[in-house]
């Protein structure tokens, strides 16, 4: 899962010789508001945004701006998680990729293409839900409850179990799960005498992916 595997070849880089008008047209044609500037020697120089270009008069070359901005980039032999970390930390939509031994420009990695790498770890095409289930305290098994959900293509993200204060009241378990649909899960839970009290849709997939990525990074840092 190296950065080189997720380079998007569809984006045209800017040249220092481009005028502000040309740079704006190139960005608009590619429906993007930031692009790398690459020199005649093929080396990466910096990133410019449409807002940066608008500081110049139409016929001024963007070379006037090339030295003003930090040239963030990622090397193509780095793990794709490094690219994701940089984009999330600095709120970037894309990141230039350079050769391992030099600043030779290799292409652009976008946030969407980088996040695709997380599909190996989380079910991106599914939706997150939060459900509340009641069960008799006597004989309750969290392992059984998890097995029933996961055997019906649900993935449990987190659980919270709490007791009612009244004596002989059932256990209440709140579950954050990811699934394609809830009906098969509800059916098997009811068949095993669990009572589903509430359910609602939780995080959107993008937020879920970012949260899973950040959790994974915290785990790798330990």
- For the chain, the C-alpha Rg in angstroms (whole number) is 25
User: Does residue 218 have a pLDDT over 70?
Assistant: no
Tokens found for residue 210: 């970012």
Mean pLDDT of 21-33: 93
Report the pLDDT value the prediction gives residue 104, as an integer from 0 to 100. 93
The structure's pTM equals 0.55
Report the pLDDT value the prediction gives residue 201, as an integer from 0 to 100. 77
Report the pLDDT value the prediction gives residue 222, as an integer from 0 to 100. 46
Reported as a single tens digit per residue, the pLDDT across 84-120 is 888 888 888 899 999 988 889 999 999 888 877 665 5
CATH 3.30.70.260 region(s) of the chain? Answer: 127-210
Q: What distance in Å separates the CA atoms of residue 48 and residue 74, rounded to the nearest whole number?
A: 16
CATH 3.10.580.10 region(s) of the chain? Answer: 3-118
Q: What distance in Å separates the CA atoms of residue 156 and residue 82, rounded to the nearest whole number?
A: 27
End-to-end CA distance of the chain: 21
Decide if domain 127-210 falls under CATH 3.30.70.1400. Answer: no
**Whether the Cβ atoms of residue 176 and residue 169 lie closer than 8 Å to each other:** no
Q: In the structure, how many helices (H) and strands (E) does the chain have?
A: 7, 9
How does 71-108 read in b/e, with b if 16+ C-beta sit within 10 Å?
A: eebbbbebebbebbbbbbeeebebbbbbbeeebebbbb
**Would you place residue 165 in the very low, low, confident or very high pLDDT band (cuts 50, 70, 90)?**
low
Reported as a single tens digit per residue, the pLDDT across 171-192 is 889 898 888 889 999 999 999 9
Q: Tell the CATH superfamily of the 3-118 domain.
A: CBS-domain (3.10.580.10)
């Amino acid at each position: 899962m190296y950065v080189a595997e997720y380079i998007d070849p569809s984006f045209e880089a800017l040249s220092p010789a481009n005028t502000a008008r040309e740079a704006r047209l190139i960005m608009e044609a590619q429906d993007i508001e930031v692009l790398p500037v690459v020199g005649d020697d093929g080396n990466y120089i910096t990133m410019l945004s449409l807002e940066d270009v608008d500081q110049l008069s139409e016929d001024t070359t963007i070379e006037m701006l090339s030295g003003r901005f930090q040239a963030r980039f990622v090397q193509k032999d780095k793990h794709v998680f490094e690219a994701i970390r940089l984009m999330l930390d600095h709120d970037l939509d894309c990141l230039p990729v350079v050769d391992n031994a030099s600043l030779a420009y290799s292409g652009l990695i976008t946030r969407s293409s980088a996040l695709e790498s997380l599909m190996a770890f989380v079910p991106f095409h599914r939706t997150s839900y939060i459900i509340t289930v009641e069960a008799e305290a006597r004989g309750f098994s969290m392992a059984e409850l998890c097995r029933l959900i996961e055997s019906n293509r649900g993935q449990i993200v987190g659980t919270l179990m709490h007791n009612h204060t009244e004596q002989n009241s059932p256990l209440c378990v709140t579950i954050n799960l990811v699934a394609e649909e809830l009906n098969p899960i509800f059916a098997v839970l009811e068949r095993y005498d669990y009572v589903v009290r509430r359910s609602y849709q939780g995080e959107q997939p993008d937020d879920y992916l970012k949260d899973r990525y950040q959790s994974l990074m915290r785990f790798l840092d330990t």
